[in-house]
């Protein structure tokens, strides 16, 4: 198992070389380097006796075992963010092939989703939405599919087979929790809901040298005060994370009082009611601060994503397969959240050293990959026993 784990890591690092940009890993939906990923992983699948195909959404798929038997789907995504690491997404696909190579006791379909990150067209999960039959018609996406040599008319055939009984996704945690607990693995019991929006603070631009402090309507000052309140609020509520990650300041000149600021807000919690209350409270705080400073504020909701629970029975089986793994909520979105409403799903997180992800320094530990393969093998053995 140790040799197989090191081979998984080496394969991920090899695939990171297939990129749209020199000297860094960037691989978006159906870009030319995706063909190289398909070629390398498809050849491995064929060597171990899998039936391999590319569906109309560009998902790489391989089936080990008899087509009519109940099958476990093991999947994750093949695309990356710009300047990515070598393991986010693709580790889960490579581990799925490695498990198939171990001659498991049930049919396994490994799927490398063509898109999850949302980089090329500004919205995510193209691959898994095609897999679940929820991909809406989009001319830009369909043009990209056609340019890749595929036919959008065949998208209905990309939907999962009726023999699919469970979905398992391996993924790096993308955060520091497991490392802080000195724990290599965790079973994911839910993917946190998200509220995203944009707030616009409207003040009055004026000369920085001639406008007294008590006569200013500084939009950036109001936004800054509110950002501190966002942080303090989230710190005081367990399980809540809230982030202001983007600011646009106008006119954005060193000698001009900012007249307008647009600020993003991202609020996440595993409990949807607590998330919605938090988002509402933070908007109220913005209004209070704006009024105190003679500034107006308006808000626009960009996304409301409910929490997606994983299948309880599968998650418990996964935890038991790892000898009693801890369970945790994922703060990031994953393909499993798209698949879960259609196929019973669960996820296994691997520790992210230093909590690094979406960065070239992203890594995994060989012993963690080995432990994940062992856990996956026991999970498949137990699940296969239910369908024997």
With a threshold of 0.75, does the pTM exceed it?
A: yes
pLDDT in tens, 81-136: 999 999 999 999 999 999 999 988 899 999 999 999 999 998 899 999 999 999 99
SS3 38: helix
CATH of domain 2-191+307-386: 3.40.630.10
Q: Look-up: residue for tokens 């710009």?
A: 82
Q: Where are the domains of the chain?
A: 2-191+307-386, 193-305
End-to-end CA distance of the chain: 25
Q: Look-up: residue for tokens 């090329």?
A: 120
Q: Distance between CA atoms of 53 and 38, rounded to whole angstroms? A: 9
DSSP state of 58: -
The pLDDT, as a whole number, for residue 1 is 84
For 302, residues 6+ apart whose C-beta sits below 8 A from its C-beta are: 196, 197, 198
Nearest C-alpha neighbor of 161 from the set 107, 203, 224, 208: 107
The pLDDT, as a whole number, for residue 334 is 96
DSSP state of 141: H
DSSP state of 308: E
Q: For the domain made up of 193-305, give the CATH fold.
A: Alpha-Beta Plaits (3.30.70)
Provide the β-strand partners of residue 24. Answer: 21
Task: Please determine, for residue 68, whether its predicted confidence score (pLDDT) is greater than 90.
Answer: yes
The pLDDT, as a whole number, for residue 308 is 97
The pLDDT, as a whole number, for residue 370 is 98
pLDDT in tens, 194-209: 999 999 999 999 999 9
Q: Distance between CA atoms of 291 and 313, rounded to whole angstroms? A: 50
Phi and psi of 50, rounded to 5°?
A: -85, 150
Across the range 179-187, mean pLDDT stands at 97
Across the range 335-354, mean pLDDT stands at 97
Across the range 149-161, mean pLDDT stands at 98
SS3 74: strand
């Amino acid at each position: 198992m140790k040799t197989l784990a090191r081979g998984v890591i080496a394969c991920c690092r090899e695939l990171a070389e297939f990129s749209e940009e020199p000297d860094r890993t960037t691989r978006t939906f159906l870009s030319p380097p995706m063909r190289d990923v398909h070629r390398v992983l498809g050849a491995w699948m064929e060597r171990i006796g899998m039936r391999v195909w590319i569906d109309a959404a560009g998902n790489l798929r391989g089936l080990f075992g008899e087509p009519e038997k109940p099958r476990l789907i093991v999947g994750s995504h093949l695309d990356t963010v710009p300047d990515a690491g070598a393991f986010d997404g693709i580790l889960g696909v490579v581990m799925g092939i490695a498990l198939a190579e171990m001659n498991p006791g049930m049919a396994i379909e490994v799927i490398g989703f063509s898109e999850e990150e949302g980089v090329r067209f500004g919205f995510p999960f193209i691959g898994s939405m095609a897999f679940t039959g929820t991909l809406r018609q989009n001319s830009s996406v369909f043009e990209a599919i056609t340019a890749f040599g595929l036919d959008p008319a065949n998208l209905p055939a990309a939907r999962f087979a009726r023999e699919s009984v469970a979905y398992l996704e391996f993924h790096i945690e993308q955060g520091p929790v497991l490392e802080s607990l000195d724990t290599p693995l965790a079973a994911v019991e839910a993917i946190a809901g998200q509220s995203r929006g944009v707030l616009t603070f409207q003040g009055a631009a004026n000369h920085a040298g001639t406008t007294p402090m008590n006569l200013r309507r500084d939009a950036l000052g109001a936004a800054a005060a509110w950002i501190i309140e966002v942080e303090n609020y989230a710190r005081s509520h367990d399980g809540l994370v809230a982030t202001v990650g983007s600011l646009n300041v106008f006119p954005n000149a060193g000698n001009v009082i900012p007249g307008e600021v647009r600020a993003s807000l991202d609020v996440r919690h595993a409990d949807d009611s607590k998330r919605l209350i938090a988002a509402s409270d933070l908007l109220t705080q913005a209004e209070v601060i704006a009024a105190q400073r003679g500034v107006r504020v308006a808000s626009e909701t960009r996304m409301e994503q409910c929490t997606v629970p994983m299948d309880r029975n599968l998650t418990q089986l996964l935890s038991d397969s790892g000898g009693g793994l801890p369970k945790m909520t994922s703060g990031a979105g994953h393909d499993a959240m798209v698949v879960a409403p259609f196929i019973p799903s669960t996820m296994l997180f691997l520790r992210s050293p230093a909590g690094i992800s979406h960065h070239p320094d992203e890594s995994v530990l060989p012993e963690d990959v080995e432990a994940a393969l062992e856990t996956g093998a026991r999970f498949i053995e137990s699940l296969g026993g239910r369908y024997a």
